[in-house]
Structure 1
Amino acid sequence: MTKGKCPVIHGGATESGMSNMEWWPKALNLDILHQHDSKTNPLTNDVNYREIVKTLDVSSLKNDLHALMTDSQAWWPADWGHYGGLMIRLTWHAAGTYRVADGRGGASTGNQRFAPLNSWPDNVNLDKARRLLWPIKKKYGNKLSWADLIAYAGTIAYESMGLKTFGFAFGREDIWHPEKDIYWGSEKEWLAPSGGEGSRYSGERDLDNPLAAVMMGLIYVNPEGVDGKPDPLKTAQDVRVTFERMAMNDEETVALTAGGHTVGKCHGNGDANLLEADPEGAEIEDQGFGWLNKTKRGIGRNTVSSGIEGAWTTHPTKWDNGYFQLLLNHEWQLQKSPAGAWQWEPIDIKEEDKPVDVEDLTTRYNPIMTDADMAMKVDPEYRKISERFYQDPAYFSEVFARAWFKLTHRDLGPKARYIGPDAPQEDLIWQDPVPAGATDYDIQSVKDKIIASGLSTNEMVTIAWDSARTFRGSDKRGGANGARIRLAPNKDWQGNEPERLAKVLSVYEDIANQTGASIADVIVLGGNAGIEAAAKKAGVDIVVPFSAGRGDATDAMTDAASFDVLEPLHDGFRNWLKKDYVVSAEELLLDRSQLMGLTACEMTLLVGGMRVIGTNYGGTKHGVFTDNEGALTNDFFVNLTDMKYSWKPVAKNLYDIVDRQTDQLKWTATRVDLVLGSNSILRAYAELYAQDDNKEKFVTDFVATWVKLMNADRF
């Protein structure tokens, strides 16, 4: 070894090394399907969190959190001796990342502990809140996840300041690794204004889907105004779009904005340029802390977070109606905070209506409003709602409590997943309620009637697939339970082939009426029967496992508008794209597979099996690499990996599969078909199932994956 040369091999496992995707950018990155591999979870074999949390002493936990709120620590003192505002911001910024378009974000995984969220500019100093909570997490250990604790802390903070909360449910399981699958935007810098490189806006001000926040690194809107330029009317439009994409209507938006700013304060009494690196970029001696001020005091009244400085209300540690009283009864003017941020301050206000200093209770300062707060006053619709809340404080409190519950539980899933003594019993429309289904009917009789109905194998399998494929593990919405495929808007979605769907459903409804089974169960049983028939045609006798009890939702139980985001716009498993997209077909397949909770191997299995059964949209033959369509054989993989054939592109997403010797066309295929044979990882799975000794393994593994998807929404 050369003298003085470092013996460590740098690059491969450090940030300085080039990743495979950087070396080969055309390769398909499958990390999205395996990012939460069991190897990252130290509790996999020891703890079932959703069972052990049922033994949590909630009363004791609640008492400990109440005590924490007023136990000010010298290393990070509480404003006015109460941590409520900080804990509410912690919870809000965890839950507020949720977006309806793909159900990703939210508080249900505890992902705020990891990058990028732990170091977002909008999350400045929330690392301190998590450290304050650590003694409680340490005490309750495995019985209390970080995800539940972070969501609960803000709820108890409100309770401690006088709000009658709507309730709380436990059951959020922690992840142990950053969620790299969540697309937060394509900007190359934090807080980049719209119009720059990778801007999330197009047209007049059209925010790209599935994004909800207006800038990289913000939870929702810029508090100083659009691109940092104060204009409450313009900001109102950003607020409306952002909150709609968080599943909130105008009334909920005003309630959350006002309720979030009824307590606590903004921090900007200092120079932001003096702050050190964020937690992910800090030196090791700072123990994961971020944004430290090592040249000035930097805590208490001298804290810098948002850059805006001041409290919104006269009594910032008390739940009251002071927000609307100040906002609506005063005129406001633009001012600059000590940190140089734009904020609104009252033109004329009585001394006793000013909030006191966080440390010196004898000194008072002007209250402040952000541009988003002023939007509640100047936007006509928001103003009407604000006036009503001002006139009826009890109504405001009730609407806020319900909206806060929705914010903190939207991504937890249906009520069946709620755990704990304070979980509300009321059915809420946004929970997509489904009644319990019957379990005492004769399952074999139902299956026999389906088989005798004259429906084809691909019809039975396709309808079951279309019903279940809407499931997304991000927020536990969609799926076969509820049979919403027969209700608006699902029944009219192009991807569900409405005419064929109506034909099959008419048969299933008769069978359900005759047997007492739910239509949802009949749909799934039909798919199972079709797969059993396809396997038998391939020479394999197998029974697809089934559990009864799915219910049938009604129109009254369904918020039809909220289901628009679940409409399939592509389905690689059925070889269908609604239109030509900028994103490749195989990348769309990965995104859908991840939402359904599939691994790369399971995705490969389903594509290959669905092709040979003949479930393609519209009956197309792309990727049907078999002369025995309808049989659950491994022919797709055998022919995909056979070097007898070559692939020739004939259109953007269409290929001819031709015999190398004769140049005769044998099959046609899409990118989704061929990526299973071209991508090195996916080809490894394809080769496995193409082997002569794995014909039965293919059927067995396909059935196991099928059952996993059919039961994904059974909680």
Structure 2
Amino acid sequence: MTDHSASSSGKCPVMHGAATTKTGASSAFWPNALNLDILHQHDRKTNPMGADFNYRAELAKLDVEALKADLRALMNDSQDWWPADWGSYVGMMARVTWHAAGSYRNTDGRGGNGTGNQRFAPLNSWPDNVNTDKGRRLLWPIKKKYGNKISWADLISLAGTIAYEVAGLKTYGFAFGREDIWHPEKDIYWGDEQQWLAPSDTRFADVEDAASLENPLAAVQMGLIYVNPEGVNGKPDPARTALMMRETFARMGMNDEETVALTAGGHTIGKAHGNGNAADLSADPESADVTAQGMGWFNTKGRGIGRDTVVSGIEGAWTTNPTRWDNEFFTLLFKYDWTLTRSPAGAQQWEPIAIAEEDKPVDVEDPSIRHMPMMTDADMALKVDPIYREISLRFMNDFEAFSDAFARAWFKLTHRDMGPKTRYVGPDVPAEDLIWQDPVPAGNTAYDVAAVKAKIAAAGLSDNEMIATAWDSARTFRGSDFRGGANGARIRLAPQKDWEGNEPARLAKVLAALEPIAAETGASIADVIVLAGNLGLENAIRAAGFSVEVPFAPGRGDATAEMTDAESFDVLEPKHDGFRNYLKAWSDIVTPEEMLLDRAQLLGLTAVEMTALIGGMRVLDTNFAGSRHGVFTQTPGALTNDFFVTLTDMAYSWKPTGRNSYAIVERASGETRYTASRVDLVFGSNSILRSYAEVYAQDDNKEKFVRDFVAAWTKVMNADRFDLQA
């Protein structure tokens, strides 16, 4: 936001954000072992609040106006241990919020400010997050006062919004509802560089091609939120920086207008800090001594506060009045010519030529002293890039339009990973439905579920067609940003209806049979798709000799094309789905089994639930394009435990026949009985997954497997039913 780390000076086509990097004590001995930690990321044992804690119930007790009043008071309450610039914390708090929210990337929905993850490594010690630790400590007395009624995630998000209000902006609104995590998300893939701020070349296939940034990353260097403020690889060139900005902001879900608004609005208040030697800073919070008490980056020489603060290395304010919401950013940017210079810390920045004295901001401690304002390379990009320039000039000449655009973009930035509006809580939730919220109308619950099931049963669809369609509809859900899922039935709309992984021909056949049923009965198409999958599953359970009802909760709605930003849904397209043995393209960087973990984690599954679903989906014969890999049964379509029985049977040996294909050979006869993929075989090769497979292969656990599969299936079908969740 107001400070960005300075530099000292996309290779993978699939989204491997699960970061199944082989870390841990045993990695040196078994470097190829599959790391399942991503599925244990938020173990209940790390949560001090206990299983019965209900954040939303606590939120209902929150005095929102009192909380906001305390935050407003904080903005101008300078404390002795960390004095505020110009006596105001608006710049600092805006930056704390921006740098929490700005880690979001739409490629896999990870990052963002929805979990309070800025408190933990690696984010708490990113070079770009220098001194956000001080901002969080300034917020601590307020967190202490309101306790369980306000999460860190909500408080961090609200702080920046209140900062802008105090500065004079009419904000768009705010929603509570973000729940804290209690353990670092170390398995999120932030890049594989081994040093902070490694050159951008390491994460671009071609650093001259911004679009070649490695998926799922959004920042150009390790430890940055988005772009290097000194230019690509620390070489100032605003036109080139603009290309990087366009790509990185797009990966945060922002268009050109939102990019201009956020860049300019983010730099309308506060300042960058580089009035000293960055080499004099102490270690980051995660590396600091116990006496630092969880903070870092203290100046070991001199005061290290006020006018002597070093953060990014860039020094100065962008505007004449850095604690006030106004249009001075654009005014100064276009009023003057700018030239390259260096800060006292040695960072490259731009300063105006022949600036009037009255346009200079005053010193943060002594108002009788004035200093040069500055611009980063990213700021200059707004003047140089033709598209950004046109938007910037429009904003310069229409302050109200700029204010509205920024307020909306800020709201989007701080709420993008919260999912649909049904998850929003509080008195300041805007009434307007925004397309990036993926709105879904309320669904009907007043229809005869049994009658709908009867019509589905008479529709002439096979069980595996119904099961596969329901799965494809639900599997898009991402617990990272709560997008996707079966609610809304967007599988029948562009772009999802045409995705290869959804088998468009089969999908069209199923929809043609189910849509008239929805129209006749008053049920939503979304409900009918899930109910059809449940019906197919119940048939498969009976075929296995059991009678287990699959739970169903009506109430899903049907989105329309007008409610759907088709372009933004492109990032949800599955390039892999181990549950249906689908792999669009082989990657030399990440294995199919690692891709499976990625999808399982986004679906919110545990390793046990993932195991049950794989075994069931195989014997249900739901593989993509009818593949026989992993269908280890003589009775396909029945929900038996045959997958696990065959996998653990030493009557067979396993022979590679291709890059991702294997023959299951009967030892006695030498005949191939089945075929498999890597995703299938990992449940026998990995010691942890094999232990689960052996449980389900036991003779006395056949019904347990069925019940566990149904529970995991229902969890996926209801993953986006936030109305059913406490």
Length-normalised TM-score, structure 2 = 0.95
Corresponding position of 2:390: 384
Equivalent residue, structure 2, for 1:186: 192
2:436 matches 1:430: yes
Unpaired runs of 5+ residues, structure 2, are: 1-22
1:703 corresponds in structure 2 to 710
Q: Which residue of 1 aligns with 2:560?
A: 554
Tell me how far 1:581 sits from its aligned partner: 1.7
Please state if 1:634 is matched with 2:638: no
Q: CA deviation at 1:542?
A: 1.1
Shift of 1:204: 3.4
Which residue identity lines up with residue 549 of structure 2 in the other structure?
Answer: V
| 1:32–1:181 CA contact under 8 A, matched in 2 | yes
1:112 is matched with which residue? 118
What's the counterpart of residue 5 of structure 1?
none
What's the counterpart of residue 618 of structure 1?
A: 625
Deviations 1:650-672 (A, max 9, x none): 10100000011111110000000
5 Å matches for 1:18-97?
Answer: 19-97=25-103
Q: Distance in 2 between matches of 1:347 and 1:356?
A: 18
Contact 2:131-2:296 at 8 Å conserved across structures: yes
Q: Quick check: 1:185–1:200 contact (8 Å CA) kept in 2?
A: no
CA distance in 2, matches of 1:510, 1:147: 44
SS at match of 1:648: strand
Give the Cα separation in 2 of the matches to 1:44 and 1:596: 23
Aligned to 1:6: none
What residue is the counterpart of 1:658 in the other structure?
A: 665
**Which letter does structure 2 place at the counterpart of 1:204?**
E
Aligned residues: 697
* 8 Å Cα contact 2:121-2:186 kept in structure 1: no
Deviation of residue 36 (structure 1)? Answer: 0.5
Q: Distance in 1 between matches of 2:203 and 2:53?
A: 43
Give 1:251's aligned residue. Answer: 257
Q: Are positions 1:674 and 2:681 aligned together? A: yes
Classify the secondary structure of the residue corresponding to 1:156.
Answer: helix
Tell me the CA shift for residue 289 of structure 1: 1.3
Indicate the SS of the match to 1:279. Answer: coil
Tell me the distance in 1 between the aligned counterparts of 2:28 and 2:677: 26
Distance in 2 separating the partners of 1:20 and 1:639: 30
Aligned residue for 1:44, secondary structure, equals: coil
Q: What are the equivalent positions in structure 2 for 1:487-502 lying under 5 Å apart?
A: 487-502=493-508
Task: Give, in whole Å, the separation in 2 of the partners of 1:599 and 1:191.
Answer: 34
Query: CA contact under 8 A between 2:464 and 2:622: conserved in structure 1?
Result: yes
Q: Is the 8 A contact 1:21 1:29 kept in 2?
A: no
Q: Distance in 1 between matches of 2:31 and 2:80?
A: 50
Q: Which amino acid aligns with 1:269?
A: N
Q: CA deviation at 1:18?
A: 6.1
Cα distance 1:537–1:90, how it changes in 2: closer, same or farther (>3 A)? same
Amino acid at match of 2:115: T
Q: Which residue of 2 aligns with 1:313?
A: 319
Instruction: Say if 2:36 and 2:597, in contact at 8 Å, map to a contact too.
Output: yes
CA displacement 1:583-620 (0-9 Å, x = unmatched): 21101000010001001111110010000010001111
Change (3 A) 1:203 1:668: farther
Cα distance change on mapping 1:55 and 1:350 into 2, 3 Å: same
Q: 8 Å contact 1:271–1:339 — kept in the other structure?
A: yes
Contact 2:104 2:252 in 1 (8 A): yes
* 3-state SS, counterpart of residue 55 of structure 1: coil
**Percent of aligned pairs with the same amino acid:** 71
Paired position in structure 1 for 2:612? 605
| 1:281-360 equivalent positions in 2, closer than 5 A | 281-360=287-366
State the partner residue of 1:712.
719
Higher relative contact order (Cα pairs below 8 Å, separated by 6+ residues): 2
Counterpart for residue 238 of structure 1: 244
- Distance in 2 separating the partners of 1:421 and 1:22: 53
Q: CA deviation at 1:484?
A: 0.2
Which residue in the other structure is 1:152 paired with? 158
From 202, 206, 212, give the equivalent of 1:202: 206
CA distance in 2, matches of 1:22, 1:438: 55
**3-state SS of paired residue (1:545):** coil
CA distance in 2, matches of 1:306, 1:295: 17
Deviations, residues 291-321 of structure 1 (Å, cap 9, x unaligned): 1112211011100000011000000000000
Counterpart contact for 1:269–1:304, Cα < 8 Å: yes
How far is the alpha carbon of 1:200 from its aligned partner?
A: 4.0
- Is the Cα contact below 8 Å between 2:285 and 2:294 reproduced in 1? yes
Q: 1: distance between equivalents of 2:199 and 2:319?
A: 30
SS in 1 for 2:60: helix
Aligned partner letter, 1:613: L
How far apart in 2 are the matches of 1:69 and 1:172? 23
Tell me the secondary structure at the aligned position of residue 668 of structure 1: strand
SS in 1 for 2:48: coil
Q: Is the 8 A contact 2:582 2:623 kept in 1?
A: yes
Cα offsets for 1:114-160 (capped at 9, x unmatched): 00000000000110000000000000001100000001000000000
Return the TM-score normalized by structure 1.
Answer: 0.97
Q: Does residue 646 in structure 1 map to residue 646 in structure 2?
A: no
Over residues 549-572 of structure 1, what are the superposed CA-to-partner deviations in whole Å (9 max), with x where a residue is unaligned?
000000000000000000011111
Partner SS for 2:535: helix
Give 3-state SS (helix, strand or coil) of 1:170's partner.
coil
For 1:502 and 1:383, how far apart are their aligned partners in 2? 45
* Other structure's SS at 2:426 match: coil
Q: Which residues of 2 match residues 6-25 of structure 1 at below 5 A? A: 19-25=25-31
> In 1, are the aligned partners of 2:200 and 2:207 still within 8 Å (CA)?
no
| CA positional deviation for 1:181 | 2.3
Counterpart amino acid of residue 372 in structure 1:
A
Letter in 1 for 2:656: P
Which residue does the alignment assign to 1:10?
A: none
User: Separation in 1 of the partners of 2:335 and 2:640?
Assistant: 74
Tell me by how many angstroms 1:576 deviates.
Answer: 1.2
* Cα distance in 1 for residues equivalent to 2:512 and 2:536: 18
- Match of 1:446? 452
3-state SS of 2:200 partner: coil
Which SS does the other structure have where 2:480 is aligned? coil
Distance in 1 (CA, whole Å) between partners of 2:235 and 2:342 is 12
Paired letter, 1:679: N
Counterparts of 2:191 and 2:536, CA distance in 1: 42
Shift of 1:22: 2.8
Contact 1:112 1:118 (8 Å CA) reproduced: yes
SS at match of 1:695: helix
Distance 1:24 1:42 in 2: 33
Per-residue CA deviations over 1:198-225 (Å, capped at 9, x if unaligned) read: 4444363321111110100000111111
Deviations 1:485-538 (A, max 9, x none): 000000000000000100000110011011110000000000100110000000
**Of 369, 377, 383, the match for 1:363:** 369
Name the residue aligned to 1:213.
219
1:270, 1:304 within 8 Å by CA — same for their partners in 2? Answer: yes
How far is 1:180 from its partner? 1.7
Contact 1:110–1:175 under 8 Å retained in 2: yes
Name the structure 2 match of 1:575: 581
C-alpha RMSD over aligned residues: 0.9
Which whole-Å CA distance do the structure 2 matches of 1:204 and 1:311 have between them? 30
Q: Is the 8 A contact 2:444 2:555 kept in 1?
A: yes
Is 1:174 the counterpart of 2:158? The answer is no
Matched, 1:521 2:524: no
Alignment match, 1:14: none
Q: Distance in 2 between matches of 1:338 and 1:280?
A: 27
1:202 is matched by which residue type in structure 2?
A: D
- How far apart are residue 349 of structure 1 and its match? 1.0
1:595 aligns with 2:602: yes
In structure 2, how many angstroms separate the alpha carbons of the residues matched to 1:46 and 1:268? 47
SS of residue in 1 equivalent to 2:361: coil
